[in-house]
Amino acid sequence: MVKTWCNLTLKSIKSVFIFDSEGKKLLSKYYYPIEPKDAQKLEKNLFDKTRRTNSDIILFDNLVVVYKPVVDLFIYVVGGLDENEIMLVGVLNCFIDACSNLLKNQMEKRSLMDNLDTVLLVLDETIDDGTTNIYQILSVKKFQLMKKIDYKSQITALKFINKDELLVGSGPFLLKINIHTHETKQLKIFEMARILKIKHSKYTVVSGQKSLAILLDFNIIHSFEIDDWIIDFEFGNEIAILTAHNNLQIRDWNGNLISEKKNDSRCMLYSGCVYNNSCFSGTIFNQIIWNEKAFIGHEGVLFSVEYKDGYILSTSDDRTVRLWNVETGDCVVFHGHLGRVWKAIFYNEYVVSISEDASCRVWNRKGDLLTVWEGHGSRNVWSVDVIDGIVATGGGDGGIRLWNLEELKQNRIDDDSQVETIELPNVPKSFGFTKNLEIVDELGNFYSYKDGLKKTFTDSEFKGHSHIVTVNENTIAFNNGLILFQNRKFKLQTETKILQIFGFEFGNDLIIFVSKEKEILCFRINEYIELVGVLSPAVHFQVFEMKYDGKIVVCGSKKGALCCYEFEIQATRKLEIQEYMQIQEFEKPAPIEPCLIARHIHGSDAVTNILLERIGEKYQISTVGRDGLFNSFLFYKSDAKTNLELAVGYTLETIHKTRITKGWLEQIVKVGSTIFLAGFFNARFFIFNQSKNCEMFSVNCNAKRIWKLKIHDELLNHLEFAYFKHKHINYVQKLSDTNFPDMNLVEPYHSLETRACKFVDGLIVSGGEDSILTFHSYKNSLKRVLWCKKHEASIRCLDYQNGLLFTGGSQQELYCWKLDIQNLTCIQIAQALKSDTEARIMDLTVHGDCVVTANSDAFIRLYKFNRGFDLLFETDYHHKCVQKTRLVQHGGLYLYSAATDGKIVKWRVTDKLEFVTEYKVHQSGVKAMDVKVIDNEICVASGGDDNLVSLIIGETIYSGNYHGSSVTGIHLEKGRMISVGIDQRLVEYKINNGIEFVSRTFVDVADISDMDVSGNNIVVVGHGIQLFEQ
């Protein structure tokens, strides 16, 4: 910056202009009276003249003009003849410096236009009535706009460049992501428009709303805006654009209109496609119009139209996809989607469609549904593209997933030709996977199967009904009281039958639990065998499943119960293993009693499988059951009272419950960090990826009872599945292309609107309509690090204090969570009682042990929090839906509350609320409020549904209109205020005996509902999230 000019004062600047490169005036400011006509003439002459000369100072019409081209702008400062031109150049340079600083070095038309109001302010600050002190220009730093750091929202366009790189439209940003390395480049394409279409050949062409940009090698080479919404375009030497008013415009690359054809049927389009300069237009009157022809059949608005090789593919509000033969007009209707269908595309013999119902479906051209891919939260898949059998989908949740179309046949086994039948001379009875498939038949013949059948041995004592249990590479067989392990046989002495054996490997030891009617015996097998413990079963508890980790035994019952034992193996008398031995049971240790029993965790259906994991001092127990639920619990030492049937020194806490299927869940398999759930629905066996929330594999097999599964890897590239059918073992192996990239290309954000956000100790926590509490780290970029589901309905508000997070929402849900940032855990620890009004908790605030909620049933509720919520006091003083509450300490605790009538009420907080005073601030609802003590005075900033921001200091109310729509977020600090609103503007103010406008920044998040500020960071949420730095 030019510092040497500091003390020079100019006296007679006449005017300042900015033109674009075509001579269009963008800004002008005159410091003397001039007729508009004369001004226009002057500007035109000036531009014409300066365009032709090369010098940057000219004398013109008794004026001294200095100017400078900057990118696509021409900037002029005009002074009187007596003015020193060097000083004018100084003003010009300073002004350019200041602007370019303000525009973050993007001194170009687009960013200038978006920030014109602030540029004008800079101008006003620097030149006052034609008089200026250059020193002032240098101090424009305070005008810095907010810098956009990261953004996550709906993914509205996808396009593969090649089989490694994917172009992504996320708001106004274009991303280029390598689907293998996840390396990502980002480029801002539009100022305000969201990218809705991407096409790619040598050039990339991107459109959104009325804007279009042409890129080469990920650099914008042309961009322009037209006068109508762009529905579709076709790109060649010229660009053919179909607009929402059903016109076909031909433009050159600079956006100049070459010709325009107004289609006869002049009505609004939601969708359409241009093909060889003719249009297939999808009207809101449910028809597709092409030339003179109309394709009629849809019962709702059309959301997409594609054309290829004589066929039209269309999707609609009526939940169908339709495939039309252009020639004959014949139509195939695809039924299956449960919501509006946004788009469908052709790919080889397939049709791939995406919908509001959050699914992507693949069909053949006859309309048969081949698969359903779900994994974008609860609503909306917005974009899709395919290349080389890889399908990419972009969701309303901001996530991008990849799906393997080639695997379709491999992942969905319908046909016996895909299944091998293992031919055995006799009827097999049981089997299990080691490296091979181990089989025992009705005659006691043992086989090993791998690429072929091998008979290993025969033991006639294992005739009849034998069982095989495999533990990694070990095989255990049992039959009544007889156990076979590594060619050794043990006979348990008692008569009672063995019901089940569970085995676990610990180093060189194999621990087996033998479950019998009255007891569970535990043996250690190594070079020797020893009876190391006896567990006594709980009453009415038939053990169906068991897990052991060396310290804790967890059993699941046939009737939905869970039972835990504390059990560590003690050394006992070892028995040398002989080839065939009787095990005496008289030296039995004393039976161990359960330490915890929880009934009905799966209703009264069987607990079919358990996953036991240690997390620090605690255990996480995950279970699946025949009620189709997947549950997770924390199990830890605690003396707290519980309402469990039995809990001695331990407690069990539900973390989450999810219904995965209407059928049965049978198995949990954890590979790496991925959890797979296997189960049956109707006649199908399926594997569901819990971590990714989607079905991965299924077999039409009708064999619920006897089956075994072995999953080899996290991506499910290799798996084996054997099942019993018609007295034979059927075997399915899936061995797939291991080069397919990770499915979760981009982590999702919330799948529905976010309602509340807050910075908490280095993370951003947010909650919204999808009822999932989500945590993001935000260093350089937003990254989801944790999410928890507990709320049944939407989350609307949250507050944080000393490791405790409070959340509230619809259906009167109010929770307290313990947040541990180090270990990244967030555990719900308390819940408030609901009243029966079904009211929504609109806001909450916490201070010390005091929690106050604002409720839609007009009540303010005051709770004391001490490991639980105690309702101390409630009042319906407002008589309207209460929208905001804030507690503040200032010589006593005070509460401010605000409601839909625009009033803000101040209360003194004791063990109840005492009315102090009220202010009528807004015409209608108060949608944002912040309360701070500044200069020893309580200040209340608020934003209203009436578009106003206001500030109460003492008894004075200041207010101003700076937003075009409701103000939904506000932040107050010393000397400064920031607000955001539905108009997608972030406005910054100076507080100085009132509110003073400083800057306005466009926010790319729609439907903004909350904002939080922490140090230099600002986070704004709504339909997505955006992070700014100031």
Q: Least distance from C-beta 840 to another protein, angstroms? A: 7
Q: Which of 306, 318, 397, 459 binds another protein (CB under 8 A)?
A: 318
CA distance 299 to 319: 9
Window of 110-118, 233-241, 367-375, 536-544 that interacts with another protein by CB under 8 A: 110-118
Nearer Cβ to another protein (286/434): 286
- Contacts to another protein from residues 378-397, by CB under 8 A: 379-380, 382, 396
- Torsion sign over Cα 94, 98, 101, 107: negative
Least separation in angstroms between residue 229's CB and another protein is: 6
Smaller CB distance to another protein: residue 244 or 597?
A: 244
Taking CB under 8 A as the rule, which mask of x and - marks residues 219-258 in contact with another protein? Answer: ------x-xxx--------------xx-------------
Structure tokens at 135: 């020193």
Nearer to another protein, 253 or 1002 (CB): 1002
3-state secondary structure 261-298: EECCCCCCEEEEEEECCEEEEEECCCEEEECCEEEECC
Q: How far apart are CA 791 and CA 767, in angstroms?
A: 10
Q: Which two tokens stand for residue 708?
A: 């075994």
Listed residue (168, 189, 186) closest to 110, CA to CA: 189
Task: Pick the stretch among 280-288, 513-521, 593-601, 614-622 that binds another protein (CB under 8 A).
Answer: 280-288
Q: Which residue among 39, 58, 70, 192 contacts another protein (CB under 8 A)? A: 192
CB of residue 819 to another protein, shortest distance in Å: 28
Residue 336 beta carbon to another protein: minimum distance, rounded to whole angstroms: 10
Q: State which residue, 856 or 942, has the beta carbon closest to another protein.
A: 856
How far apart (Å, rounded) are the C-alpha atoms in residues 514 and 535? 10
Stretch that binds another protein, among 136-144, 318-326, 408-416, 478-486 (CB under 8 A): 318-326
User: What's the burial of 486, exposed, middle or buried (CB within 10 Å: 0-12/13-18/19+)?
Assistant: exposed
95 binds another protein (CB under 8 A): no
Minimum separation from the CB atom of position 116 to another protein (A)? 4
Whole-angstrom distance, CA of residue 590 vs CA of residue 344? 67
Whose Cβ is closer to another protein: residue 299's or residue 505's? Answer: 299
Candidates 124, 299, 517, 568; binder of another protein (CB under 8 A) is 299
Element (H, E) at 700: strand 694-700
Contact 921, 890 (CB under 8 A): no
Q: What is the rounded CA–CA span in Å between residue 385 and residue 345?
A: 8
**Quick one: 320 or 470, whose CB is closer to another protein?**
320
Q: How far is the CB of 879 from another protein (least distance, A)?
A: 8
Piece of the chain touching another protein by CB under 8 A; list 130-138, 566-574, 693-701, 876-884? 876-884
The 3-state DSSP class for residue 897 equals strand
Residue 606, sorted as left (phi over 0), alpha (psi -120 to 50) or beta, turns out to be beta
**Alpha-carbon gap, residue 314 to 342, rounded angstroms:** 9
From the list 62-70, 293-301, 344-352, 585-593, the region that binds another protein by CB under 8 A is 293-301
Q: Per rule CB under 8 A, is residue 197 in the interface with another protein?
A: no
What is the sign of the dihedral through the CA atoms of 847, 848, 852 and 853?
positive
Tell me the helices (H) and strands (E) count for the chain, helix number first.
Answer: 6, 96
Are the beta carbons of 891 and 933 closer than 8 angstroms? Answer: no
Residue 384's DSSP bridge partners are 393
What value does the CA radius of gyration of the chain take, rounded to a whole number of Å? 36
Beta carbon of residue 327, minimum distance to another protein (angstroms, whole number): 26
Residues 665-724 that bind another protein (CB under 8 A): none
Q: Return d(Cα 268, Cα 192) in angstroms, integer.
A: 22
Least Cβ distance, residue 1011 to another protein (angstroms): 16
CB of 915 to another protein, least distance (A): 19
CA distance 963 to 981: 7
> If 0-12 CB within 10 Å is exposed, 13-18 middle and 19+ buried, where does residue 354 land?
buried
Q: Which residues of 588-617 are buried (b: 16+ CB within 10 A; e: fewer)?
A: eeeebebbbbbbebbeebbbbbbbbeeeee
Least gap, CB of 853 to another protein (angstroms): 13
Q: Is 190 in the site for another protein (CB under 8 A)?
A: no
Among 2, 267, 592, 804, binds another protein (CB under 8 A): 267
Is the CB of 2 or the CB of 369 nearer to another protein? Answer: 369
In whole angstroms, give the CA distance from residue 926 to residue 840. Answer: 16
Stretch that binds another protein, among 344-352, 517-525, 594-602, 922-930 (CB under 8 A): 922-930
**Binding to another protein, residues 803-862 (CB under 8 A):** 837-840, 855-858
Q: Which of residues 958-1017 bind another protein (CB under 8 A)?
A: 961, 963-966, 982-985, 1000, 1002, 1006-1007
Q: Which residues, 19 to 48, sit near another protein by CB under 8 A?
A: 26-27
Q: Which is nearer to another protein, 164 or 191 (CB)?
A: 191
- What is the C-alpha separation between 347 and 350, in angstroms, rounded? 5
CB of 679 to another protein, least distance (A): 25
Name the residue among 171, 177, 141 with its Cα closest to residue 157: 171
Nearer Cβ to another protein (168/850): 168
Please tell me whether residue 909 adopts helix, strand or coil conformation: strand
Which of 344, 525 has the CB closer to another protein? 344
Min dist. Cβ of residue 399 to another protein (A): 16
Number of residues that bind another protein (CB under 8 A): 82
Shortest approach of another protein to residue 89 CB, angstroms?
Answer: 27
The two structure tokens encoding residue 167: 């172009």
Name the one range near another protein by CB under 8 A: 288-296, 313-321, 455-463, 477-485.
Answer: 313-321
Based on the shown chain and the rule CB under 8 A, indicate whether residue 946 belongs to the binding site for another protein: yes
Considering the complex, state which of residue 285 and residue 347 has its C-beta at the smaller distance from another protein.
Answer: 285
Query: How many other CB atoms are found less than 10 A from the CB of residue 415?
Result: 9
d(CA 237, CA 235): 7
Output 720 or 945, the one with its CB closest to another protein: 945
Q: How far is the CB of 109 from another protein (least distance, A)?
A: 11
Of the candidate residues 925, 941, 986, 1013, the single one contacting another protein (CB under 8 A): 925
Please list every residue from 888 through 907 that binds another protein, using CB under 8 A. Answer: 900-902
Nearer to another protein, 300 or 603 (CB): 300
Binding flag, residue 317, another protein (CB under 8 A): yes
Residues 764-793 that bind another protein (CB under 8 A): none
Among 3, 52, 266, 518, binds another protein (CB under 8 A): 266
Of 451-459, 521-529, 865-873, 923-931, which part binds another protein (CB under 8 A)?
Answer: 923-931
Contact 185, 218 (CB under 8 A): yes
Rama region for 946: left / alpha / beta (φ>0; ψ in -120 to 50; rest): alpha
Question: Out of 223, 883, 959, 979, which residue is the one contacting another protein (CB under 8 A)?
Answer: 883
Among 199, 463, 516, 880, binds another protein (CB under 8 A): 880
Question: Strands (DSSP E) along 761-902, which ranges?
Answer: 763-768, 772-777, 783-789, 795-801, 804-809, 814-820, 825-831, 841-847, 850-855, 860-865, 869-875, 882-889, 893-899
b/e code 920-932 from CB counts within 10 Å (16+ = b) = ebbeebbbbbbbb
Choosing from 306, 666, 695, 945, the residue that interacts with another protein (CB under 8 A) is 945
155-184 binders of another protein (CB under 8 A): 156
